[in-house]
Structure 1
Amino acid sequence: MFSSLINLVVPLNLCIFLMVLGFVLCLIRFKRSGLSLIFAGILWVLIWSLPVTSILFGGILENSYPHRPTAQYPTAQAIVVLGGATANNRINWFEPLAPDSKIARVDTAAELYFQHKAPRILVSGGALSGDVSEARGMAARLKTLGVPAEDIILENESRTTHENAALTVQQLRDHQIRSILLVTSALHMPRSMASFSKYGLDVTAAPNPAQITIPDDKDFSLFIPNERALAGSRSILKEYVGVLVYWLRGWV
């Protein structure tokens, strides 16, 4: 259900669907209705290709739990990191992807760990493709950053945010952990916090820095269609649809 809704509302997909449906209606003598659908499809793509739309609707999500300096976070019993890579971990949504302009969720978790905010890190995420889970990949990265293997807990089975929460909570209870710092992207944090808080944990949001911000580019315009804005619209819409679906299913 979730994936189907996401695929439907993705701007290009919905535009094509509405244009085809509109064309069919025009052929069977419902020209006015058909043209209205065609116009609606084009308008939907145009709206989501504008950076101002991403900054408005993405900003609502990202600013729900603002990123803070590491020193401002309270201590907890563990840091929980969720798998995923919003916008390929780029620092700014609208800028080209470059190796030196990325910040992964595990980097944020490692910083919290080395600032003694929690003595353990739990990494959560199953294998979305292939045999290596996201959790194992994140654990390997943490080890290269200097986190001891004995301080890393793996949850290898989850494939959705709901499963992240449900399966991670089992692991936390096994280790008698009740307070956590939750690390994910700022965009993903509202749905993640709602999912984890349902289990009665003491959860503090510790998101990566916001990505959907105005770049330092004099040629950038909020009102000129932008390829990155259109490409990134799926991630924003996914979160809004996700919150709705999770609420309807009683997961938040």
Structure 2
Amino acid sequence: MTRIFARLRKFFQPVTLLLLVLVLAFAVGFLAFSEHVTNMREPATVPAADGIIVLTGGQARIETAIGLLQHQNGMRLLISGVHPSTKRQALQRITHADAALFTCCIDIDRSAQDTVGNARESAKWIKAHDYRRVIVVTNNYHMPRSMAELSRAMPDVAFIPYPVVKTDLSQENWIKQGDTLRVLLTEYVKYLRSMARLVISPPAPDTAANASSEK
């Protein structure tokens, strides 16, 4: 019996050590991710780009993207992830955008249901317009995962992040805010999954759009 316990102890020691290392790595990575996200600010200046993409689902994203289009930071805007039942006129009215601008220069994607879908539909739009530099508008906590998925879908395109800072995710004491901590932790886990996909299955540059569309 003593020998059995000794063998079990020898087996579990490296396993326990490995688990501790993984937990520590996860915790350190989460802290770095959270600090990076909560320190993001909307850029004072935006470099010129061919187009603009906004991913729906968060605070003030669409309004910010339309403002960039109005200031001619891009030639066209794609609003990705609009609910299928939302009509163009209703979206234009809700965002207080100019009707003429909506008609001439704004495209709507109603197919995407998540960030992977956003990247897939954005890749189709970018390829159709032959764009090379695209501004990405989404909330700060969502930006790392969005950039990872878009870069995976179209590695030859230069994506320029424009984070919309969610008010309660820019506070210095975020670690004490239960809801904020939950949002960051959930997003960090999803970000790790995106990075794992990028590492395990990186698309070839010339087949990126096709590989993304098969998901």
Question: What TM-score does the superposition give when structure 1 sets the normalisation length?
Answer: 0.57
Larger RCO: 1 or 2 (CA < 8 Å, sep 6+): 1
1:183 to 128, 137, 162: 137
Instruction: Tell me, in whole angstroms, the C-alpha distance in 2 between the residues paired with 1:206 and 1:66.
Output: 9
SS, match of residue 249 in structure 1: helix
Counterpart in 1 of 2:147? Answer: 193
Q: Within the alignment, does 1:76 sit opposite 2:76 as a pair?
A: no
- The 5 Å alignment of 1:141-160 reads 141-142=94-95, 144-146=96-98, 147-160=101-114
Identity, % of aligned pairs? 25
- The 5 Å alignment of 1:166-181 reads 166-181=120-135
SS, match of residue 80 in structure 1: strand
- In the TM superposition, what is the alpha-carbon distance from 1:105 to its structure 2 partner? 0.6
Asked whether the equivalents of residues 58 and 236 of structure 1 are also in contact (C-alpha less than 8 Å), the reply is: yes
Asked whether the equivalents of residues 53 and 136 of structure 2 are also in contact (C-alpha less than 8 Å), the reply is: yes
Greater strand proportion: 2
Residue 117 of structure 2 aligns with an amino acid whose one-letter code is: E
Asked whether the equivalents of residues 55 and 213 of structure 1 are also in contact (C-alpha less than 8 Å), the reply is: no
- In the TM superposition, what is the alpha-carbon distance from 1:209 to its structure 2 partner? 2.9
Instruction: Tell me, in whole angstroms, the C-alpha distance in 2 between the residues paired with 1:157 and 1:121.
Output: 16
Counterpart in 1 of 2:26? Answer: none
Counterpart in 2 of 1:9? Answer: none
Asked whether the equivalents of residues 77 and 105 of structure 2 are also in contact (C-alpha less than 8 Å), the reply is: yes
Gapped runs of 5+ residues in structure 1? 1-53, 90-103, 216-221
Instruction: Tell me, in whole angstroms, the C-alpha distance in 2 between the residues paired with 1:140 and 1:169.
Output: 27
Asked whether the equivalents of residues 174 and 181 of structure 2 are also in contact (C-alpha less than 8 Å), the reply is: no
SS, match of residue 206 in structure 1: strand
Q: Within the alignment, does 1:117 sit opposite 2:54 as a pair?
A: no
- In the TM superposition, what is the alpha-carbon distance from 1:55 to its structure 2 partner? 9.3
Instruction: Tell me, in whole angstroms, the C-alpha distance in 2 between the residues paired with 1:196 and 1:160.
Output: 12
- In the TM superposition, what is the alpha-carbon distance from 1:139 to its structure 2 partner? 5.2
- The 5 Å alignment of 1:117-136 reads 117-127=73-83, 131-132=84-85
Gapped runs of 5+ residues in structure 2? 1-29, 203-215
Change (3 A) 1:214 1:75: same
Instruction: Tell me, in whole angstroms, the C-alpha distance in 2 between the residues paired with 1:57 and 1:135.
Output: 36
Asked whether the equivalents of residues 185 and 208 of structure 1 are also in contact (C-alpha less than 8 Å), the reply is: yes
2:64 to 79, 88, 108: 108
Change (3 A) 1:134 1:162: farther
Counterpart in 2 of 1:232? Answer: 180
Residue 183 of structure 2 aligns with an amino acid whose one-letter code is: S
Residue 230 of structure 1 aligns with an amino acid whose one-letter code is: G
- The 5 Å alignment of 1:213-224 reads 213-214=170-171, 222=173
Residue 152 of structure 1 aligns with an amino acid whose one-letter code is: I
- In the TM superposition, what is the alpha-carbon distance from 1:113 to its structure 2 partner? 1.3
- In the TM superposition, what is the alpha-carbon distance from 1:191 to its structure 2 partner? 0.8
SS, match of residue 145 in structure 1: coil
Asked whether the equivalents of residues 124 and 134 of structure 1 are also in contact (C-alpha less than 8 Å), the reply is: no
Asked whether the equivalents of residues 123 and 155 of structure 1 are also in contact (C-alpha less than 8 Å), the reply is: yes
- In the TM superposition, what is the alpha-carbon distance from 1:213 to its structure 2 partner? 2.9
Instruction: Tell me, in whole angstroms, the C-alpha distance in 2 between the residues paired with 1:195 and 1:224.
Output: 27
Instruction: Tell me, in whole angstroms, the C-alpha distance in 1 between the residues paired with 2:175 and 2:142.
Output: 26
Instruction: Tell me, in whole angstroms, the C-alpha distance in 2 between the residues paired with 1:62 and 1:158.
Output: 26
